[in-house]
Amino acid sequence: MNLDAAVAAARHDYATKRPRSRDWTDRARTVQPGGNTRSVLDFAPFPFRAERAEGHQLVDIDGHHYIDLLGNYTAGLLGHSPEPVLDAARAALESGWALGSVHTNEVQFAELLALRFESIEQVRFTNSGTEANLMALAVSTHHTQRRKIVVFANGYHGGVLTFGAGPSPVSVPHDWQVCRYNDLEDVSRTFEAHGDEIAAILVEPMQGSGGCIAGSPTFLTGLRELCDRHESLLVFDEVMTSRFSTAGAQGLLGIRPDLTTLGKYFAGGFTFGAFGGRADVMAHFDPAAGGELGHAGTFNNNVVSMAAGVATLTQVLSGEVLQTTHERGNRLRNSLNEIFSAKGLAMHVSGVGSLMGVHGTSGPITSADDLVDADDRLKELFFFHCLDAGFYLARRGFIALSIEITDADIEAFLAVVERFDPGS
């Protein structure tokens, strides 16, 4: 069977087994463009529709059970409904949830984040990582009185901060300078030409949505040095990579950014984002210190996210838990690559720790250039093979382990991968 025929057969089998999901998609498309309100969840022939979740499992409306290896694209690091977070959220709601006031949990949450990240001297909250990155760029341009922002091809910093070879049509109109990831010489040339105009570098220590492509220590250290030399700000987008350790990727790398953006899992799965860093930069939001910038947002300090964040950092996400999950992810990635190599498949898994991406090409993968000839059909067949066996990952090959995933789950998943034969 050729790959095109295999993909068609896999899609047909998937659709046949999920009539209710198909019907709900048809219904959704009459009132929602594309049938959804979160584009990443869509895939052909239609996405399944979840009914409930618990621990590390999902159940769809057609009754299929899945072990969740996606973790809501990293926001579900804690699994589904962790008890301490659920208790904290319930307690917060019982005290009222639309206070229109500052409250104590937001202070405690901020203190806990500042303790974890040495580079974060002060922090402000948002509703998402997208908002956090927007605010970090706003304060960067204000602080430096410059307009140019260095970003990287294949980077993703939120729905309106998306880059392929250049900015997406929906990206906000900053003066973008798009460089190649892991190519310090390319960034250096940009600084040689525009150094006194560059406000900041916005970079993911590992490109997450772009395929889990890790930045080399030499590359990331070089960015720090360029910013120091040209008095630009280094902004680490750690919305995903903050899970690598209690101090995030920056803690493992020993690099201190000027600003850090956070999001996803810190509020235990509830809506959350944050940006913080040097006190002199964050002071632009402090009227008492002469700051001129405002930062609005009705739900920035919503009681559920703030209470959940305090519970997450005090009762759930210890350094030991993060390290165990990180090491489990490294073992899984290495095992997957061993299986693909032994089977002679042109497939490779990139990533760091509990975040990884499956690609339809042989490795290593250091930038988007290495993915140009990747065969997406291999990824699609792998996705449907895993889904049919009860393991849910992203259609694009993204895996984000939660702390609820066990070694037994990993062994069961590897057994499924051993049976993967795209030519059958």
User: Residues 48-65: pLDDT tens digits?
Assistant: 999 999 999 999 999 999
Q: Residues near 325 by Cβ (< 8 Å), separated by ≥ 6? A: 77, 243, 353, 354, 401, 402, 403, 405
Task: Compute φ and ψ for 378, nearest 5 degrees.
Answer: -65, -40
Domain locations in the chain as residue ranges: 3-77+318-418, 83-316
CB 197 within 8 A of CB 148: yes
Mean pLDDT of 393-422: 98
Share of the chain above pLDDT 70, in %: 100
Q: State the Cα–Cα distance between residues 147 and 164, nearest whole angstrom.
A: 21
d(CA 91, CA 188): 51
First to last CA, the chain: 6
The CATH number of 3-77+318-418 is which of 3.40.50.2300, 3.40.50.2020, 3.90.1150.10, 3.20.20.30?
3.90.1150.10
Yes or no: say if 223 and 187 are a contact pair by the CB < 8 Å rule. yes
pTM over 0.85? The answer is: yes
The pLDDT-based confidence of 1 (bands split at 50, 70, 90) is low
**17, two tokens:** 């087994």
Angle at 381 between CA 401 and CA 332, to 5 degrees: 30
* CATH number 3.40.640.10 is the correct assignment for the domain at 83-316: yes
Long-range CB contacts (within 8 A, 24+) of 109-112: 109/306, 109/309, 109/310, 109/313, 112/309, 112/310, 112/313, 112/314
Q: Which residue has the tokens 């729905």?
A: 159
- In whole angstroms, what is the distance from residue 8 CA to residue 259 CA? 46
How confident is the prediction for the chain on average, in pLDDT? 97
* Res 42 pLDDT > 70: yes
Place of tokens 């996210």: 305
DSSP one-letter code for 215: P
Instruction: Give the count of beta carbons closer than 10 Å to the beta carbon of residue 42.
Output: 13
pLDDT tens for 104-113 read: 999 999 999 9
Q: Is 154 left (phi over 0), alpha (psi -120 to 50) or beta?
A: left
Statement: residue 423 has pLDDT above 90? no
DSSP assignment of 375-407 = -HHHHHHHHHHHHHTTEE--TTSEEE--TT--H
Over the stretch 131-161, which tens digit does the pLDDT of each residue have?
A: 999 999 999 999 999 999 999 999 999 999 9
Query: What is the rounded average pLDDT of the residues 7-24?
Result: 98
| Spatial contact of 202 and 149, defined as CB atoms under 8 Å apart | yes
Give residue-wise pLDDT tens across range 216-238: 999 999 999 999 999 999 999 99
Q: Encode pLDDT of 159-215 as tens digits.
A: 999 999 889 999 999 999 999 999 999 999 999 999 999 999 999 999 999 999 999
In the numeric block, which tokens belong to residue 319? 């350094």
Predicted pLDDT at 7 = 97
Across 263-271, average pLDDT: 95
Q: What pLDDT score was predicted for residue 111?
A: 98
Rounded CA-CA distance 391/393 in Å is 7
Please give the single-letter amino acid code of residue 385: H
Note the pLDDT of residue 363.
87
Q: What are phi and psi of 392, to 5 degrees?
A: -105, 120
With 0-12 / 13-18 / 19 or more C-beta atoms within 10 angstroms meaning exposed / middle / buried, residue 288 is exposed
pLDDT exceeds 80 at position 424: no
Rounded CA separation 277/212 (Å): 25
Cα 275 to Cα 157: distance, rounded to the nearest angstrom: 13
Measured CA to CA, the distance from residue 138 to residue 136 in angstroms comes to 5
Model pLDDT for residues 355-404, shown as the tens digit of each residue: 999 999 998 999 999 999 999 999 999 999 999 999 999 999 999 999 99
Residues marked active site are found at 156, 237, 264
